[in-house]
A and B are shown apart, each in its own frame.
Chain A
């Protein structure tokens, strides 16, 4: 079983929809959970990070961690074409592990 699983997509949704991106993981020692956004031909940029379980909100973005289910989510409200990118989840114990990313397309 891979340490971090992330559906590669692509995921296409109409503008204004709520987007849900998810990762599952197997290592219960993970404590910090991050989401990165990567535009085409650019480096990953940190979008949000959370410690342990719970929710964190930043504008249109909400990160959710469910450690009991080993499942993390990123929700994007009122999605915009500028949100079209690849989203990578990442998590840490004594090292950082990245998911392979989900490609998201927001259709105008």
Chain B
């Protein structure tokens, strides 16, 4: 099992450009999430999905879009990149049953917006 795979590992964008961060998992987990991690801020939840076709907003959703057409994939779209979106982005998945929500993370995407 590869676990959670994120691509690309690094990306540099110019302000106003759009892009999609890819996330795929092969553990058949229903629950997937996107986080951003900034120095001193910890992990902040952007969007999450409890299953194919179902998504919801997290703590910091503005400027990001998600969709979940399959169990395996959960892409994150930056609509019009801004310097404030410079961060490290992590995708996570879990099988979340009741309060048991043990998440497994990908290796991250480092994004710089100039």
Which residue numbers of A lie inside 8 Å of B, CB to CB? 8, 30-32, 34, 36, 41-46, 49, 51, 88, 90, 92-96, 98-101
Contact = CB atoms under 8 A, between A and B. Distances in A.
B42 A43 contact: no
B105 A93 contact: no
B108 A42 contact: yes
Category for how many chain B residues contact A: 10 to 19
B101 A95 contact: yes
Given A43-B90, A44-B90, A101-B42, A92 B107 contact: no
Contacts of B4: 43
Contacts of A99: 42
B99 interface: yes
Contacts, number: 47
Nearest to B58: A95
Given A98-B42, A99-B42, A100-B40, A43 B107 contact: yes
Nearest to A100: B42
B106 to A, nearest CB: 5
Q: Which 5 A-B pairs have the closest CB atoms?
A: A100-B42, A43-B105, A92-B101, A31-B99, A98-B43
**Which of A30, A51, A95, A96 is most buried by chain B, counting CB atoms within 10 A of its CB?**
A96
Interface string B1-45: 000100000000000000000000000000000000000111100
B99 A92 contact: yes
Interface in B98-114: 99-108, 110
A44 B108 CA distance: 9
